[in-house]
Structure 1
Amino acid sequence: MSRRSPSTGTQSPTFGLDATVWSTSIAVAVAMVLGSVTLIPLTADRGYILLAGLTVLIIEAISVTGRWLRLAGWVIHVLQALVLLGIGVGLGFSAAHSLNVGGSWFQQLWRVLLESSVTVQTQAAPLPADAGVRWLMVLLIGLVTILADILVLTLESPVWAIAPLLTLYIIPALTLRQDIPWWSFVLMAVGYLGVLLAEQLTTSRRWTRNLSSDSADSGSSRHRGAAGTALGGLGVAVAIPALALSLVLGSVLPTFGSLDINSPRPRGSGPLQLADPTIDLQKNLNQQSNSVVLRYNTPSRTGEYLRLASLTRVNSSGWHVSPVNLSQDAPASVPGLNASSTRRTVNVQIGDFGSEYLPTPYAPLTAPQGDWAWDPTNLTVISTANDRTDATRGLSYSVTSMSPDPDLGSFSQAAAGTPADKGTTTVPKDVPEQILKLTHSITATKNTPVSRAVAIQEWLRDPRRFTYSTTAPPGDGYSVLTNFLTKTRSGYCIHFASAMALMARIEGIPSRVSVGFLPGTRQGDRWSVKASNMHAWPELYFQGYGWVRFEPTAAVASAPAWSVENPDSVPSSSASPSAGTSVPSSSPSASASPSTSSSPEPGATSSTGSSIPWNIIWRIAAAVLVVLALCLAPMTVRAARRRRRMSADDPSELVAGAWREVHDSWTDHGLVWPTGSPRQQFDEASRQLGDPGAGALHRLAMAEERARYARSLGELGDVTGDVSVVRRALKAGQTPRSNLLAGWLPASLWHRSGRG
C-alpha cells in the first residue's frame, strides 16, 4: 500500500514502507492490547493478556511485513488467519495437556472446545483460571485484531476501528452483573484515538478528505477518499459482523444485566440464569469477617444450616447451579421425604448481606411475600425483583421448613433414591480412572449406599489425612481436585464437599453441593451468623429420606448424628486406602468457583466429555444467518431498485431510471458523478469507459437530453441493454475491491441521487 505525501506528492518510504503503515500498525496493535485488557472483569486469569499481546504483535508484524513486500491485502489477511490458526492449534494442544485430554489431535482440540464452551456457559464472571477459556480469549482477540487490520490498513478506514474495539467492550458490558469499570471505556477510547492520530499525523490532507461527504461540484471522476463511499459502505459491512460477534458471545456467556422480571421467569429468556454463590463463599472465608450478617430464632437446640443454593451440575471446571424455571407455588411436600422428619418455623433478620438467594433451612415450605419464587426441583427460594442481587439486605421473614430426621439404625439400610433431577446422578465421562479406583477402594468393604457414604465422609474427615486451609489447591480444571485428594491434602469446605459429592455419584448415590451458612453462635434465644460462617456441604439422596446433609469438613463442624456410628470415635483409616494412593491430574474441579449455568437444560447432563453443546451451536448458527442476511440486504435492495427502474412502462420514466442507474453505478464504485448537462456528464464520465461502454453511455446521455428538453423522445433503442453495457464496462476498469464493494455494499444506498 503506497501513499503520497500530501505536501509533495512523493512517497515517504521508511525501510520500504509508507510511514503511515508502520505507525498505524503500531497504533492498531496498541489499541487491541488495550482493548484486550477490557476483558479482565470476565476472568480471574490474567495470563491471557500476555498471550493475547504476543498474538496481536505477531498479527501486526505480518501486516507490516506483507505491506513492505507489497503483497495484496487479501494475501496478508490469509497469512494472518493461517498464523492465528497455528497459534490456536498450539494453544489448544497446551490446553488439552492441562485438562488431561487424550485422543487424536482433532479429538483433543474438539474436547478442549467442548470443555471451554461449557465452562463459559456454566460459569459466572469472573471465569476461573482455565486453559481452555484462555485459549478462547486469545483466539477472540486475534480474530478481532485481523478485523481491525482489515478496516484500518487494507480499507484505509481508521474511523471504523471503533467496531473491533466495541466488540471487546460490549462483551463484558452484556455479561457482567456489576457496572463496567470506568477504565475499560478509557482504554478503548485511548486506543481508538491512537489509531486516528497515527493516521492523521502522516496523511492529514487525505484524512480530512475521508471524513468529508461527496462533493457534487468536484467535476472530477477520480476515486474519492476511503471514507466517502468505501468507508460508509465497507465500514458498515465489517462493523455489522463485528458487533454481531460481540452479541453472539454476549448471549453465550451468562447474562446478568438488569432483568425486567415481572413474573417468576423472565419473558422470552428461557430458564433463569443464577449467580455463583461460591464467589461470596470464597470472599467471606478469605476475609474471615466477624461482622454479623443475620440473626435467627429456632426451636432447634443445635441451630440451623441455612442454605442459599444447591450446585447440581459437575464438569471439569467444578460444580455449578442449574438454570431454573421458577414457580410462585410453594411445594406441597418435600421431594422423596416419607420417613421421620422435623417441622419447625424459623424467624430470620438479615443485616448487611445482599443476595438473590433466600437463606432458609432445608426444605422450606413457606417464603416471604413479594418478589420471591421457588425452584421447584431444589426448593431454593430466589428473588425475582429487578434488583434481585440485593434482595435479602435488611429483610425480616419467617420460614417453615421440614427436614429429614433419620436415626442411624433405620437409615443405614436406605437405598439410593431416584430424584426428579436426573442430572444429580451424572458422573462426567472424563473422570480419571485413578479417582474411580480411589473411591471404590474407600468403599470396598461397605455393602450399602449409606455405609459407603459414611465411609467417604470419614475418610475426608480424618485429621491425620487432611487439613483445613482457605488457600485453594493449585491448578485448574481437574487438577484442583486431584491435588486436593492426593498431594496437598489441604483445602476448605468447597473442596471437601465437592470431593464427597463426586465420590458419592461414583458409588451410584445422587448428590449435590449446597452453599449457605453454618448455624452460627447461640446468644440467649437467638443465633448470630457471621460472614465467615459461610459454608458448603454435600447432600445425598436416599429413598424415603430425600436429600440428606453430610459433613466431610471436620475442621468447621461435627458430622450429623445419623452418619456417625460412634460419635466419640476418631475416624479410622484402616478401611481406607493409604495416603499414598495415587490419583491422576484430572477430576472435576473442586475449585472455589462453581457457578452459574446457562447451558444445560434442567434434567440434562453436564458431562461434556462426549456431548456436543447444541445450544451454543444453534446460537452461533442463528447469529451467522442473521449476519448473512444483513450482509445480503444491501445487495438485495440495490438489485430490486435496478429492476424497478428498468421495468418502467413509460418511456420517459425508463430513460430517467436508466440515467439514475448509471449515476448510482458510478457512486457504487466510489466515483464522483460529474455535474452539468447530460452531454457534459457524458464527456467527463466516458473517460472511465472504453468501447462499447462509451457508445452505450452516449446513447443514454442523448436519450436523457431529449427527455429533458425535446418535445419527443424519438427512437430510444435498447435502453436496458445500454445500461448493462455501461455497467460491465465500468466494472472492467475498476479494481476487484471496488467491484466487491459495489456489489455487496452499494454506496448509492447511502447517497441520494437526483436526476442529474
Structure 2
Amino acid sequence: MRLTIASGVAAFTAALLLTPLFQGGGWFWTSLGAVLAVVAAGLLSSRLALPAWAAPLLGVAATWIYLTAAFASEKAWALVVPTKGSVVELARLLGVGWADIQRFAAPVPETEGITLLTAGGVALIAIAVDLLAARVRRAALSGLPLLALATVPATILTDPISWWAFIVAALGFVSLLIADGRERVGHWGRAVLVRRSRQTASGPLAGNGAPADTSGLRLSGKRIGFAAILLAVLLPAALPAMEPVSFFTFGVGGRGSGPGNSISIPNPIANLKGQLDLPERRVVLSYTSSDKKPRYLRIYALDTFDGQQFGMTQPKGAPENRTENGPLPEPPGLGPEVKINNVVTNVQISDEIARLQFLPLPYPAREIRVDGDWRADVDTLMVFSTREEAAGIDYDVMTSEPEPTADLLDSFDGIRPEVDERFLALPDDLPPEIRQLAEDETAGARTTYDAALKLQQFFTKPGNFQYDLRTQGHNSSALRNFLISDRVGYCEQFAASMAVLARLVGIPSRVAIGYTGGVQVGDRWEVGTNDSHSWPELYFEGVGWLPFEPTPSGAAGQGSARVPPYAAPRPTPTPGASNTPTPGASSSSADEPQNPATRRNPRELDREGTAATGTLPPDDSMPLIGKIGIGAAALLLVLLIPAGVRLITRNRRVRSLGWKVSQPSDELTARMAAGRNQVTVAAAWAELDDVLFDYGMARESSETPRALARRLSQQYEFDAGSAAAITAIASAVERVLFARDPGRIEPMSKDLRKVRQALAATVSRGRRVRAVLLPPSTLRRLRLLGERLLDGFDLLETIRLRRTAAQKGG
C-alpha cells in the first residue's frame, strides 16, 4: 500500500510542472481528484491481492467513473455510473478540448474540454506509475512516464521549468524510490528508527536476534537523492548558456528543426494588414538619428514566393552572430566603390508591442547595442531572439547605408549576382500574362538598374494603380487581377507584385516588412501603426540590397512612404547638355575617394571603436573582467558563510564572558547571579569545545572538565599562564554544574583567549587557516541540522498504514 500512495504522490507532484500552461487553477483540483481515484483503485487492488495486469484496468475504470461524475453526471445513472449518454458527452468534450488546444496558445483558458484532457492524461500517467512501481516493482522505470509528463511544458514553453516545481516533482520521485527501497529492505526484518545524532553500534544482525539496522542504507539513499536535486537546481544556474553543436541540426533557425528549437514567427502579412486596419493611430516606436533624417525600419525580409504570397525562410542565428560580440556580418554584395553614410540611430520600442521577437532596424545594420540575447541572420541581417521580446527596450544601431548614384548602378550591369537561387525562384504555374507584362514594361531598358526603374515607374505612374486597403486576398488570380485588371491594392500588393516582376526579368528580389519613417515630434521621429509598410528590395552585385518604393505616397497612398534618391526617375536631358557621366557628381571629392583600392572598408571599426563618420555612444555596460570579478566575489562570499557564522557566534559568546556578577544581597539577586553564572560558563565551555573541534582536538564524551584541562596541559605542554587559564575555566564549569553555591565567577574572556592561543601554537598554519575560513565546528552544526531533518523523514516512515496481527490480537 505504501508504494501505491507514493506512486500517486509522485504522479501528482510531476503534474505540478504543467502549471504555466493554464490561466487558472481549476485543472489542479480536477487532476488531484483523478489521481486520488487511481490511488483508491490501487489500494483496492492490493487489498484484494489482484494480479498485476488487473490493477491498471481497475484504475482505468475508477478514472472513467470519476470523469463521468465530474463532467457528465447529468447524463449518468446515479450521477456516477457511465451510460451511453455520458460516454457520448465525454467524447464530445474530448473533441472540443483537442480543438481548443490546437486553437489557443499557452497559457490556455480552462475550458471543460481542456480540463478533461488534462485530468485524464494525469490519471493515465498515475496508472502507469502505479503499474511499474507497485505491481511490477520497477520503481526506477516509473520515472519514464513522469519524464514524459515533464516534457510537455518543456516543449511548449520557451521559458525554463520553474525551479520550485522541479524540486517538488523531484522530491515526489525520490519519495517513491525511498518507499520502494524500504519495501525491499523490509523483507530482512522490521525497520527500526535509529537517531543519527547518537552513536550506536549496529551490525547486520544482533546476536540476540534483533532486527537488521537499515538506517545507514536509508541515510545514504536520501543524501544521494537530496544532493542530486540540489545540484540539478544550482549547477545550471552557475554554468554559462550552452549552444548546440552544428552537426546535430538542432538550435536556432536550423532547417527542419522542431518548433521547440526555433523562434515563433507570426504571419507578417496578416500583422501588416491588421495594423493598417486599426481605427486609430497608436505609437509603436520612436527614434532619433545622427543625420536628423527619417528612414525605413525593416523587421522581416520575405524571400520565398509560392505563387500566392511571399514567406520567410527560418532565420539562422549562430552564437558568433550575437549582437554583443561586436560588428554584425557583412551585408551581402556591398563593395568598396559605393559611398557609405554611417548613421547612429537610437530606437525606443513601445511597451504595448506584444510578442515581437525581431528588432525594427534601418538596413544594413553594422553594429547594435542592445540588452539580451539578440542574433543576426547572416543572409538578411534581420536581428531576432528566441528568448527576448522587443517590447519596452531601448537600443542603438550603427548603419552603413549605401548611397549609390545612377551612373554607378549602371556601371555594375552584366555582373552575375552572387545570391541564393531562392531570391529568383518562381512557381511554374505563374500566369503567362504576368510574364508578358514584365517583358513589355522593361522593353528598351539599357541596364538591369534601368529595368528596375521602369518597373517602379509602372506602379507609380499616375492613373495606373489605386491605393486601397480593401483587396481580394492572396492567390495567383489575385496577383493577376491586381497587375492586369483592377489594379487596386495596398502596400503589400505593390511590393509583392514588383518583386515578382523583378524576378521575371532576372533581378533577385525580396519583400521587406516594417515601418516607414513616421512623423517628427520634437527631436524624435514617432512611428505609429498607420506607418506599417511593405516594400521590395532588389539586389545589385557591388551594391547589395536596395529598397525601392512602388507604393503611391501622400494622401492618395501610404502617407509617409518615400522614394529613395537613387530610385528617383532619371532627369530628362536638356538639349545641348552633355550626357557624359561625371564621376562623383552626387558627392564631393572629399566625401568619396576616387581610388577604390585605397578606400576604407566602411564596416571596419577603429581601435577606439569609431567608424568613418558615425560612432555608437559609449558603452556603459560593465566589461567582462568586471563581471568575472563580481562573480568571483559572490562565490567567495558564499564560501565565507561558515566563517561569518563562526565569527558571529564567537563575538556573541565573548560578550557574555565579560559580564561581572556581584555578590548577591537578597534572594532575587541571587537567582539573577546564578542565571548569569550559568550563561557565562556555558558560553565559555561551548567556545572551548568549538576551538578544540576546529583544531582537531575534540574532547572525549566521557572526559570531565578537570580531566580535559589536565590532559591538554600535559599533552601540549602549556606554560604556566595557559595551564592556569584552562584550569580556571574547568573549575568554573564544575562549580556551576555541581556546587550548590558556585560563588562569584570571574570574567573568563582573558582565560579563554590564552587557551585559544596556546592551542593554536600547537597546530600547523594550514590548520589555523582552515579553522578561520572553513571552521569544522560550524560545518558540524550544519550536518547535524541535516540529520535532524532526515530523522523527521524517518519518523514519517515509521507510521504504520495498517495494524499488524499482534496489534489486532492485543
TM score, norm. by length of structure 2 = 0.39
**Which is bigger in relative contact order (C-alpha 8 A, separation at least 6)?**
1
TM score, norm. by length of structure 1 = 0.42
Q: Please identify the structure whose Cα radius of gyration is greater.
A: 2
